[in-house]
Structure 1
Amino acid sequence: MHSLLTKAMEMQNDLSTWRRHLHQYPELGFQEYNTGAFIREKLKEFGILEVSRIAETGLMAMLRGKNPGPTVMLRADMDALPIQDEKNVEYASKIDNAAHLCGHDAHISMMLGAAKILNETKIENGNVQIIFQPAEEGLYGAKKMIEENVLGENNVAAAAALHVQPTLPTGEVSICPSSSTANSDRFVIKIIGKGGHAAHPHVTVDSVAVAAEVISSIQHIVSRKVNPLDNAVISVGKITGGSARNVIAPSVTLVGTVRTLKESVQVNIKEEMERIISGVCQAFEASFEFNYEEGYPSVDNDEEMLSIFKSTASSILGENKLSIVPPSMGGEDFSYYTKIVPSVFFRLGVRPHNKESIYSHHHPLFDIDEDAMPYGTALLSKFALDFLKHKQTLEKTVSFR
C-alpha cells in the first residue's frame, strides 16, 4: 500500500466525522458561512495559516514548497442542494429543504485530508493552492472565483478536482478524455395565447395546446436536426400555467435545459428552437417569449494531465482500477478553470461492494460509502505531488538540452 494511502486510511474516522458534521448542517450557494468557518478552523489545526476568503464565502489556502516552482490547484466545492433530505440516519440534514445530496460534504472532507497530508509532507519544489469553492450548483461559483483572480494570484499552472460517483464501486475511479461533461444551457419559453371559457375554445387561443405542440416539435431537433454522431439533449423540466379546470389558460411557461458537447451543436440547437417555436406559435395564432441562457461549458481534460493522473491512480489504487468512460451530459462548473489552465477532473467510486447500486446524485436518499474517502484524499495528494515532480523533471530535461 502506498504511504500516502496509508496516511489517508489512518484518517478514516476524521474524514467520516467531518463529512457527517457537514452533512447535518448544509448551506446553499454563497451562503456557506458556517461551512467556511469549519474549514478554516480545521486548516488552522493543521498549521495551515495562509488562508484567505474569496468569492464571498470561498476559501483559498496556500501550501508553499521549500523551493520555487509551479503552482497546482486542487478544488473542492462546498454548497448543498435545495432538496429535503429523506434519509433515516443519525447524520441526516438538520436544515429544512437543504441537503448535501451531490457529495460536496465528502469533497470538502477529502480535501481537508489532502491539505493535512500535503502540509505534513513538506513540498520540495513548487506550491499547492487548495480552494474551497462556493456555489457550484448553478450559481457560477467557479466563474466568480476566476473573476477574483484565483488563478492569477499565485500563477496557477494546472488544476484538479474529483467528484463522487455512485455507479462506481469504492476503490475505483473513472475519467473521460477531452470533453468530460456537457455544455449545460437553460431556456424559458412563454407561450402567450388568449384565455377564455373551456367550453368555448373556438374564441380563445389555447396556450396549453400550443405549448404541447412546442414541446413535441422541439424534440425533433435532436432526432432530425443534429448529426446522430453528435450528443444533444433537450428536456423540459417544468411547466406552469392555468388556474382552473374550466378555464383556457392565457399563457404557459416552459422551463428546461439543453445539453451538448460541441459548440457548433449548441449554437444550432438554439437557432432551431427559436425557429420552431416561432413557426408553431404563428400556426396557432399565439405569440411567445424565448429566453436562452448559456450555462456551464464542458469540462476539458488535458491530455498531459490525464497521463499524470493515470500514473497517480495506478500507484494509489493498483492496476486496472481506472476506467476510461464516455462523457457525461451533466454540467459542472469546474469547466471554467479547464478553459484557462490544463486540468483533470475524475470521478471517485463511492458504491459499497455489497450493493449493486445506490441512489444517484440529487436524490433525497443519496448517500456514499465513507470508506471511499481515504482513496480520494490520497489521490488528490499524490496527484499534486506527481504534477510538481513531473514539471521539475521537464525543466531539468530542457535545461540539460
Structure 2
Amino acid sequence: MNLYTLTQKHHPWAVSLRRHFHQYPEVSGEEYQTQAKLLAELKALQINCRPAGTTGVIAEIQGKISGKTIAIRADIDALPIQDECNTPYQSKNKNACHACGHDGHIAVVFGTLQIIHELRDKLQGTFRFIFQPREEQFPSGAVSMIEDGALDNVDAIIGAHIWQPISLGTIGITYGNLMASPDKFKITVHGKGGHGSMPQQTVDPILIASQIVLGLNTIVSRSIDPLELAVVSVGSIQAGNAFNIIPETATLEGTVRSFDENVRQQIFARIEAIVSGICAANDATAKIETLLGHPAIINVPSYSKAIAKAVEKCHAPIKVEEVPPVMCGEDFSYYLKHVPGAFFFIGTGTDKMIYPHHHPKFDIDERAILYGMEVMARTAIDLAKA
C-alpha cells in the first residue's frame, strides 16, 4: 500500500477527530480533556506516549531501521471566542473556539502519525509527535514541552499551520523568515486631571497619548532600515469616563513585530525615547511595560527544500509556492532555537472559506487535512533517512 493510499485511508478518521476537537475546544492552559482524548487514541493504537508540559502529549514511533529522530508538532489549544461557524460540529463549549485552526493541526499530525505507524516496519528512523498546549498564550507551551523532554535526542523538527490567506491546494514555504516575533507594550501616561472647561490647569494625558501615537508611527518609516521587516501598532487607548473631565492617566497598548533582534531592540529604544521626550515636553511622566513574545520563525533553507521536494512527490492535487513572510507570531520558533527545521503553511482558502483566522465564523476546508498529512508524512520519512 503506497503512502497516498494510506493518506486517503486515514483522512476520514482524521476529519472526524478534527470535528470532535472543534466541538469540544479548550482554551490555553485548560486542555485537559483534549489531552485525555489524545492519550486514549494513542493507547488504543498501542503507541508509546505520555503526558507532557502539563496538558500536552508526546508520542513516539520507531522505524525498523535506525536513522534520525524527526519531531512533528501540532498545537492543540483554542481561543476564547464564541463559535459562530454554524455547522453540525460547532463548539459546544461557551467562549471557546478553534478559530485559528489548531483542531486541523491536530488532525494533520495525528493522521500523519497513523500513516507512519502503519508503515513503521518499512521505515528508517524515529518519529516523535508533539501535541503542544498554550500556543495562543504567554508563557509559551513550547517552552514547557521542551523542558519536559520534547526535543531530547531530536535531529530536526517540522510543523505547519493551516492558512486561510493562501488557496486550498497550495503549500506555502519560505527559505528564511516566515513569522515575526509578537511583542507587546503598555504605556501609562500620568498627567494632571481637571475640568474640561479649564484645560490650562491640567496636564492632559489624552493629548499627550495622542502625540505618542503619532510619534510611534514614525519609528518604522523613519528609524528602521526600509529593507527590514517591522510593524509598530497601537491597538488600544483607554482614558477617562466622563465627557467633561480631563483624566489623570491614559493608557496605550500595542504590538511590535520584527524578525531581526537588533531591529527589535532598536524599536523598543525608540519607543522609550519618544515617550520620554513627549512627556518631558508636556510636564507629564509615563511608565512603559514591555512583554517580549516568542522569537521569529526563521526556517532553515535545507529543510524548506525538503518540504518542497516532498510536495513534488505527492499524489494529491497540490503545489508548492514560496510565500512572503507574515507579521503574525507562532511559538514553533522556540523549537527552532534548539534543533534545525522548518514550518510551512497548508492553504485552506476557497470561495467558501473566506473568514480570517480568529474570526468567530472561521472554518477550514477539510481537504487541507488530506494534503497536510501527505506532505508531513513524506517530509518526515525523507528527513529521517537523509
Range into which the TM-score falls when normalised by the shorter chain = over 0.9
Find out whether 1:321 has 2:319 as its counterpart: yes
Q: 1:207 to 1:358 in 2, by over 3 A?
A: same
Partner residue, 2:29: 30
Partner-residue secondary structure (3-state), 1:122: helix
Contact 2:23–2:90, Cα closer than 8 Å, also in 1: yes
Which of the numbers 61, 64, 87 marks the counterpart of 1:63? 61
Q: Which residue of 2 aligns with 1:350?
A: 348
Confirm or deny that 1:136 pairs with 2:135.
yes
Following superposition, the deviation at residue 320 of structure 1 comes to 7.6
Separation in structure 1 between the aligned mates of residue 124 and residue 68 of structure 2, nearest angstrom? 8
- In the TM superposition, what whole-angstrom CA distance separates every residue of 1:33-63 from its partner, at most 9, and x where no partner exists? 0011111111122221x11111100100010
**Any conservation in 1 of the 2:10–2:115 contact (CA below 8 Å)?**
no
Structure 1 position 360 matched with structure 2 position 360: no
Partner of 1:241: 239
C-alpha separation in 2, matches of 1:47 and 1:357: 36
Q: 2:222 aligns with which of 221, 224, 234?
A: 224
Task: Give the superposition deviation at 1:15.
Answer: 2.0
Secondary structure of 2:57's aligned partner:
strand
The match for 1:46 is 45
CA shift, 1:184, in A, is 1.5
CA distance in 2, matches of 1:248, 1:294: 32
What is the identity, as a one-letter code, of the residue corresponding to 1:375?
Y
User: Aligned letter for 1:226?
Assistant: I
Tell me which residue corresponds to 1:389: 385
**Residue equivalent to 2:272:** 274
The answer for the alignment partner of 2:150 in structure 1 is 150
* Cα 1:11–1:68 shift into 2, 3 Å: closer
Tell me how far apart the structure 1 counterparts of residues 51 and 161 of structure 2 sit (CA, whole Å): 23
TM-fit CA distance, 1:241: 2.1
Change (3 A) 1:10 1:149: closer
Question: What SS does structure 1 have at the residue aligned with 2:314?
Answer: helix
RMSD: 1.6
Change (3 A) 1:372 1:34: same
Q: 1:16 offset after TM fit, Å?
A: 2.0
Structure 2, gaps ≥5 residues long:
none
Letter in 2 for 1:371: R
**Deviation string for 1:273-306 (max 9, x for gaps)?**
1000000111111110001221111112112212
Deviation at residue 138 of structure 1 after TM alignment: 2.8
| Shift of residue 190, structure 1, vs aligned partner | 0.5
**1:369 equivalent in alignment to 2:365:** yes
Residue matched to 1:378: 374
Please give the per-residue CA displacement for 1:74-106, whole angstroms capped at 9, x wherever unaligned: 000000111121222221112222110110001
* C-alpha distance 356-98 of structure 1, shift in aligned 2 (>3 A): closer
- Aligned-partner Cα distance in 1 for 2:137–2:175: 24
Aligned mates of 1:201, 1:350 — CA distance in 2: 54
> What is aligned with 1:116?
114
Secondary structure of the corresponding residue to residue 179 of structure 2: coil
Q: CA separation in 2, counterparts of 1:371 and 1:318?
A: 10
Aligned position for 1:399? none
Match among 279, 287, 297 for residue 285 of structure 2:
287
The Cα offsets for residues 132-153 of structure 1, whole Å up to 9 and x where unpaired, read as 000001321111211223212x
Identity %: 40
Shift of 1:164: 0.5
Gaps of 5+ in 1: 391-401
SS in 1 for 2:293: strand
C-alpha distance 372-85 of structure 1, shift in aligned 2 (>3 A): same
The Cα offsets for residues 171-215 of structure 1, whole Å up to 9 and x where unpaired, read as 220101112111211111101111111121111111111111101
Determine the structure 2 residue equivalent to 1:11: 10
Would you say the 8 A contact 1:167–1:357 is kept in 2? no
Q: Secondary structure at the match of 1:258?
A: strand
Question: What TM-score comes out, normalization by structure 1 length?
Answer: 0.92
| CA–CA separation in structure 2 for the residues paired with 1:320 and 1:313 | 7
Deviation at 1:69, TM superposition (A): 2.4
Q: How many residues align?
A: 384
Provide the rounded CA distance (Å) in 1 between the counterparts of 2:210 and 2:175: 39
User: For 1:116-146, what per-residue CA distance to the aligned partner results, in whole angstroms no more than 9, with x for missing partners?
Assistant: 1111101532200001000001321111211
Residues 229-255 of structure 1 show CA distances to partners (whole Å, capped at 9, x for unaligned) of 111100111222212112111111111
User: What CA deviation, in whole Å up to 9, does each residue of 1:3-29 have, x standing for no partner?
Assistant: 322222223322221111111111111
1:158 deviates by 0.2
Runs of 4+ in structure 1 over 3 Å off: 317-320
Structure 1 window deviating more from structure 2 (6-15 vs 164-173): it is: 6-15
- Paired residues of 1:43 and 1:112 also in contact (CA < 8 A): no
SS of the residue aligned with 1:93? coil
> What SS does the aligned partner of 1:374 have?
helix
Judge which range, 283-292 or 311-320, deviates more: 311-320
Quick one: structure 1 residues 83 and 223, their matched pair in 2 at CA, closer, same or farther if it must change by over 3 Å?
A: same
One-letter amino acid of the structure 2 residue matched with residue 351 of structure 1: G
Distance, in Å, in 2 between the alignment partners of 1:89 and 1:10 is 24
Report the Cα distance in structure 2 between the residues aligned to 1:72 and 1:308, rounded to whole angstroms.
13
Tell me the SS of whatever aligns to 2:59.
Answer: strand
User: Alpha carbons of 1:317 and 1:299: their partners in 2 closer, same or farther (altered >3 Å)?
Assistant: farther
| 1:359-392 deviation line (CA, Å, top 9, x unaligned) | 11111111110122111111111111111121xx
Asked if the contact 2:188/2:251 (under 8 Å) is kept, the reply is yes
Q: Give matches, 1:53-92, under 5 Å.
A: 53-92=51-90
Moved more, 318-327 or 292-301: 318-327
